[in-house]
């Protein structure tokens, strides 16, 4: 009887140990390019949480901004949306295209801070 319980608990432990690393790998490490029909470059590296921690960015809206009827909604963010929900393949008026939205957002800050990659191959790592 005891043997069975111990085996059973052992089995649970094995599952827990397998489950934990499998799930910590879910953390975002690159920007999915599934919204581009024919991607020309390898996906850009971007270790979301680690990046924002090292870069000391606290405001989610710095990247996940929210616009309604063309107006910026101050103090609110849009992390439940994808950039592609508002930025299309081609820019419309003041709304940059999806590629430009990423490039402006990422590169402008790196240039301003004089820190972080600005060369193609540093983000689009083969
Ligand atoms: C700071 C990082 C960064 C740099 C530097 C950068 N990109 Fe990107 N680029 C991105 C991100 C993020 C996307 C969104 C999708 C992805 O991950 O590929 C993107 C998307 C693209 C796309 C559209 C998707 C595709 O693969 O067709 C192209 C084309 C592109 N970049 C080309 C370039 C070229 C050319 C350069 C250099 C002149 C460059 N990028 C520099 C981050 C960067
Ligand atoms: C430096 C820019 C940047 C900052 C700051 C940022 N994010 Fe993101 N985040 C992104 C990008 C880019 C994506 C990918 C969007 C896409 O694919 O359309 C993303 C995706 C996400 C996703 C969905 C994808 C996933 O698997 O995780 C969530 C949730 C998210 N961010 C939450 C947050 C929260 C909460 C904050 C603030 C604590 C935050 N982000 C700050 C750039 C940023
Ligand atoms: C709810 C819709 C919406 C979402 C989601 C959204 N954007 Fe935007 N974005 C806009 C609109 C609208 C504009 C044009 C603003 C203007 O009129 O100047 C814009 C402008 C921009 C600009 C140029 C000017 C500026 O404000 O910096 C960049 C860069 C940008 N977006 C990047 C991103 C990125 C990167 C994401 C995803 C992490 C994203 N956007 C998600 C609607 C959105
Ligand atoms: C508001 C400022 C800001 C924005 C927006 C931003 N970054 Fe950065 N990024 C930084 C800073 C600062 C560093 C340097 C951090 C350090 O290592 O000290 C950095 C570093 C990086 C690095 C080097 C490795 C790392 O993770 O530290 C990569 C890759 C990178 N950024 C990709 C991106 C991509 C892709 C985007 C757009 C989706 C982006 N960044 C948007 C500020 C920003």
Cβ–ligand 3 contact at 83 (below 6 Å)? yes
Q: How many whole angstroms separate alpha carbon 81 and alpha carbon 66?
A: 9
Distance from Cα 25 to the centre of ligand 4, integer Å: 20
Percent of the chain at pLDDT above 90? Answer: 78
The structure tokens 């470059």 sit at: 41
Residue 9 pLDDT greater than 90, yes or no: no
Q: How many whole angstroms separate alpha carbon 25 and alpha carbon 63?
A: 23
Domains in the chain (CATH in brackets) are 28-123 (3.90.10.10)
Report the predicted TM-score, pTM, of the whole model to 2 decimal places: 0.91
pLDDT band at 4 (very low <50, low <70, confident <90, very high): confident
Q: What is the mean pLDDT of the chain?
A: 89
Q: Of 104, 26, 96, whose CA–CA distance to 63 is shortest?
A: 104
Strand partners, 72: 67
Q: Phi first, then psi: what are they for 54, rounded to 5°?
A: -65, -35
Protein residue closest via CA to atom 3 of ligand 3: 86
Rg (CA), the chain: 21
């Amino acid at each position: 009887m005891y043997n069975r319980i111990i085996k059973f608990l052992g089995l649970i432990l094995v599952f827990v140990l397998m489950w934990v690393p499998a799930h910590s790998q879910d953390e975002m490490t690159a920007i999915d390019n599934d919204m581009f029909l024919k991607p020309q470059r390898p996906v850009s590296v971007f270790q979301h949480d680690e990046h924002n921690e090292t870069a000391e960015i606290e405001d989610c809206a710095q990247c996940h901004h929210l616009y309604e009827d063309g107006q910026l909604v101050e103090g609110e963010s849009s992390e439940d949306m994808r950039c592609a929900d508002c930025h299309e393949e081609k820019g419309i008026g003041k709304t940059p295209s999806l590629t430009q939205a990423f490039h402006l957002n990422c590169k402008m800050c790196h240039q301003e801070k004089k820190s972080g990659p600005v060369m193609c191959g540093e983000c689009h790592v083969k």
